[in-house]
């Protein structure tokens, strides 16, 4: 700050004829001390030695403070008086509230932007299971709170939230170290200063803890204090946000002019000198100096509040108040350091004090001083409000107005201005802690973050330049649960954060084509999941095709039955005048052969892809054909029984049951089935349906005929069973009739086969999957048809063709015994 003030005072173009003055107070990073320092400033009267001066006026602007909590307290008091407060390092988002802090501005971006950047950074590398480390102050509390909120919105989870107390005990430090060491979270976001982290990091380094990827806030990302060799294994690879750094010409030469003095105000110069040159100063001060008590109080405050950062004053010796400073504890047998000469050369010492090749926080101070200078310049010149303006340099409110409107480009090409909330343009460098060839930690820029550009352009990273924790080149993994691959979904563990889950495979018919899917997507109708459950595939229609092996066999059998029936019909027609054909009622026999041919042909309607017409035709044709066949058998059985009774003298049974009555019986027994099928097809006809039931096991959709009224099918089948049972009963009663060729016996055998086939059909039909259901029904039709054909007509054809000598009338009737 002093360097910037002196530089401005030497600049004739800025505030010509006016010299800036200053009064510096140390707040010791403590709220109460800050308030006392503020009251001292407000009551102090400053004068300047020449030029147009602000003689007798109170302080018109304040630069500071570094920490957010003291800054908030000071800003709250200065606000009602409109005294500008420009902070160079207080980043808490809470200070953006203009109602509470109307006169607060800052040259450092709000944590609101840093938090957004940190969340985006963590999310970019896929770290969704992280821990946070902070302190009880506003900076840490608000920063971690905002980070946690935004991180959860992106699906992240916090493994833990550790808070370092203001004066932590060894037990508390050990407990936090245990948590960091045992947690599965390998990424830790730390909002704190280097002094607050020092003890914890020392404990972790003593335990040789490695493998933690530290993500640093701007408060400690460029802290040289933590680059000591003892922290290399722990902190190498640290990644964080820092303010842009610049080289300020002349600053290093200005700092090298520092010399130790016994005068008040040089206490910290003296401490610095002892620390850098490892010697002790013996300086004499005037015992009557009234500022000695002030010095005692300052040292006491530092001893109380900043014991981890600032060397403590150990002893006051002698009547002349010889001040002896030491940065080390005096222990028995410790080496006594030599006395400083005061002429040591700072340029020969390499330290963070002399390393100003790229200053960051100091640059924010530099900009703050220049912003106030430009505002004061505009106020004095009235350049920003036009002609006729009224200048009143004694009122800080006037300066505050001009300060809010400051807009200039400094010598480094950066535009300095404030938005409506008193915030600068949010620019950050992304810093990575890397070891150089000498084994020392260097802060290497690996990217940038610009909060003023579109969201997708804010984070810029050069990943190839990043060195991760432990010097590794691979991005660390910090997950509570490994990602669920496509084909599975997350299953939350009860009582645990959303990032902790198990991976369950998707159910059949469901897919997930993304990593970490929370739900599986059900496939559309007639689609099914593939084996990996990552995509839905269209189901393949499956039906009993005429090109399948089974279809070919069944078609062959059906045609064989048709051919055999045709051959037998031809034989019967050729020998229709023979006694065997005439004795078995040739008209009914031909009708039976026609019905059997229809039975064989109706099975063909079951083969091929079902359509609306085939679904309606197949069951109706099946039901009517078999009822017609059974009706003919029933009539033939009745004819056989009545024929035997007609051989008894005086019996007129055959006359009463002549051909017309036989036709009427066939018609009457067939008509109910015809009416039943007609009503069934009219009211609730079967229709083609794509059945996905078996898609899970076969990957195919069975195309079948669905019965909207299953009762209709069972009624048709039941009526067939009724006629078959009646035929079997009558044929069984006539099995021992004295005919040489007893047709009742043949009908009995055929009915036994018929009933056995259809009784076994029912359970097989119910239990068969997919197209095999249709195959079972076709098999039953063919088996029962072949049974009737072979049992009834083949023996007759054998006699007609092979034993024609038996095809005579006298051989048709047995001689009575």
What does the alpha-carbon distance between residue 718 and residue 711 come to, in Å, rounded to a whole number? Answer: 10
Taking the C-alpha atoms of residue 718 and residue 734, their distance in angstroms, rounded to an integer, is 25
Residue 111: partners with Cβ closer than 8 Å, 6 or more residues away:
91, 92, 93, 139, 142, 143, 146, 217
Q: Give the pLDDT of residue 352.
A: 79
Region 724-749 average pLDDT: 75
Which residues on adjacent β-strands are paired with residue 270? none
Q: Is the pLDDT of residue 427 over 80?
A: yes
Q: Is 301 a residue whose pLDDT tops 70?
A: no
pLDDT tens per residue, range 65-107: 888 889 999 999 999 888 999 999 998 888 999 999 999 999 9
The helix/strand/coil state of 444 is: strand
* Interval 20-34: pLDDT, tens: 988 888 888 888 888
pLDDT of 324 reads 34
For residues 240-264, average pLDDT: 90
**CA-closest candidate to residue 630, choices 557, 561, 725:** 725
pLDDT band per the 50, 70, 90 thresholds, residue 8: very high
Mean pLDDT of the chain: 84
Between 265 and 138, the higher pLDDT residue: 138
- Look at 620 and 215; give whichever has higher pLDDT: 215
Query: What is the per-residue pLDDT for 403?
Result: 94
Residue range 111-135: mean pLDDT, rounded: 93
Positive or negative torsion for Cα 805, 809, 814, 817: negative
Higher pLDDT, 698 or 522: 522
pTM reported for the whole predicted model: 0.62
Is pLDDT at 311 greater than 70 in this prediction? no
**Structure confidence at residue 233 (pLDDT):** 94
The more confidently predicted of residues 15 and 385 is 15
Which contiguous run of DSSP H or E holds residue 87? strand 85-87
Going by pLDDT thresholds of 50, 70 and 90, the confidence category of residue 735 is: low
Distance between CA atoms of residues 51 and 380, nearest Å: 14
Residues 393/427, Cβ–Cβ less than 8 Å: no
Checking if the pLDDT of 792 tops 60, the result is: yes
């Amino acid at each position: 700050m002093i360097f910037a003030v002196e530089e401005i005072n030497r600049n004739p173009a800025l505030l010509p004829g006016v010299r800036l003055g200053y009064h510096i107070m140390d707040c010791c990073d403590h709220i109460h001390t800050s308030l006392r320092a503020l009251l001292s400033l407000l009551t102090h009267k400053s004068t300047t030695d020449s030029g147009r001066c602000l003689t007798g006026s109170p302080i018109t602007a304040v630069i500071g403070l570094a920490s957010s909590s003291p800054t908030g307290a000071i800003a709250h008091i200065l606000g009602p008086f409109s005294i500008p407060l420009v902070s160079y390092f207080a980043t808490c988002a809470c200070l953006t509230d203009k109602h509470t802090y109307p006169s607060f501005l800052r040259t450092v971006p709000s944590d609101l932007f840093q938090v957004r950047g940190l969340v985006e950074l963590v999310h970019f590398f896929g770290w969704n299971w992280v821990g946070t480390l902070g302190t009880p102050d506003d900076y840490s509390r608000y920063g971690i709170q905002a980070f946690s909120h935004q991180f959860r919105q992106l699906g992240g989870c916090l493994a833990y939230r550790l808070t370092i107390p203001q004066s932590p005990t060894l037990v508390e430090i050990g407990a936090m170290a245990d948590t960091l060491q045992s947690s599965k979270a390998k990424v830790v976001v730390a909002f704190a200063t280097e002094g607050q982290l020092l003890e914890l990091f020392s404990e972790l380094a003593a335990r040789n803890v490695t493998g933690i990827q530290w993500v640093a806030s701007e408060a400690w990302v460029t802290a040289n204090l933590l680059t000591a060799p003892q922290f290399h294994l722990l902190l190498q690879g640290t990644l964080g946000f820092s303010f842009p750094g610049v080289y300020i010409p002349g600053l290093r030469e200005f700092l090298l002019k520092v010399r130790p003095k016994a005068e008040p105000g040089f206490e910290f110069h003296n401490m610095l000198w002892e620390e850098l040159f490892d010697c002790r100063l013996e300086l004499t001060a005037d015992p009557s100096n009234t500022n000695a008590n002030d010095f005692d109080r300052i040292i006491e405050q530092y001893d109380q509040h900043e014991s981890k950062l600032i060397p403590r004053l150990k002893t006051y010796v002698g009547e002349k108040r010889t001040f002896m400073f030491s940065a080390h504890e005096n222990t028995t047998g410790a080496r006594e350091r030599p006395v400083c000469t005061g002429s040591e050369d700072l340029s020969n010492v390499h330290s963070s004090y002399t390393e100003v090749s790229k200053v960051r926080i100091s640059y924010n101070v530099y900009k703050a001083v220049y912003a106030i200078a430009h505002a004061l310049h505009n106020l004095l010149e009235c350049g920003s409000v036009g002609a006729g303006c009224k200048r009143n340099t004694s009122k800080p409110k006037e300066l505050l107005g001009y300060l809010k409107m400051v807009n200039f480009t400094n010598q480094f090409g950066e535009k300095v201005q404030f938005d409506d909330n008193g915030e600068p343009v949010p620019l950050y460098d992304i810093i990575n802690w890397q070891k150089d060839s000498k084994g020392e930690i260097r802060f290497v820029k690996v990217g940038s973050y610009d909060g003023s550009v579109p969201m997708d352009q804010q984070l810029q990273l050069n990943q190839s330049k990043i060195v991760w924790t432990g010097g590794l080149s691979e991005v660390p993994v910090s997950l509570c649960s490994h990602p669920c691959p496509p084909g599975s979904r997350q299953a939350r563990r009860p009582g645990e954060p959303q990032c902790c889950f198990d991976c369950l495979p998707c159910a059949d018919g469901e897919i997930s084509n993304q990593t970490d899917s929370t739900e599986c997507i059900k496939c559309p109708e007639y689609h099914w999941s593939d084996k990996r459950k990552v995509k839905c595939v269209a189901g393949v229609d499956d039906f009993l095709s005429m090109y399948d092996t089974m279809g070919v066999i069944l078609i062959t059998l059906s045609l064989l039955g048709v051919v055999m029936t045709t051959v037998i019909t031809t034989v019967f027609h050729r020998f229709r005048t023979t006694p065997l054909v005439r004795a078995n009622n040739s008209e009914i026999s031909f009708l039976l052969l026609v019905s059997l041919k229809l039975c064989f042909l109706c099975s063909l309607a079951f083969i091929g892809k079902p359509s609306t017409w085939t679904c309606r035709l197949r069951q109706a044709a099946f039901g009517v054909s078999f009822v017609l066949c059974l009706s003919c058998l029933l009539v033939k059985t009745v004819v056989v029984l009545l024929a035997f009774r007609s051989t008894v003298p005086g019996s007129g049974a055959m006359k009463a049951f002549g051909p017309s009555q036989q036709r009427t019986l066939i018609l009457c027994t067939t008509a109910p089935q015809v009416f039943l099928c007609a009503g069934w097809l009219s009211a609730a006809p079967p229709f083609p349906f794509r059945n996905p039931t078996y898609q899970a096991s076969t990957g195919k959709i069975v195309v079948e005929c669905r019965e909207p009224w299953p009762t209709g099918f069972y009624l048709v089948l039941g009526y067939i069973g009724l006629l078959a049972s009646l035929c079997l009963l009558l044929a069984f009663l006539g099995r021992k009739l004295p005919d040489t060729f007893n047709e009742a016996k043949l009908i009995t055998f055929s009915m036994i086969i018929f009933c056995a086939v259809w009784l076994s059909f029912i359970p097989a039909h119910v239990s068969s999957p997919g197209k095999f259901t249709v195959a079972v029904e076709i098999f039953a039709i063919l088996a029962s048809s072949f049974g009737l054909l072979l049992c009834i007509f083949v023996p007759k054809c054998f006699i007609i063709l092979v034993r024609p000598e038996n095809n005579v009338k006298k051989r048709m009737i047995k001689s009575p015994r």
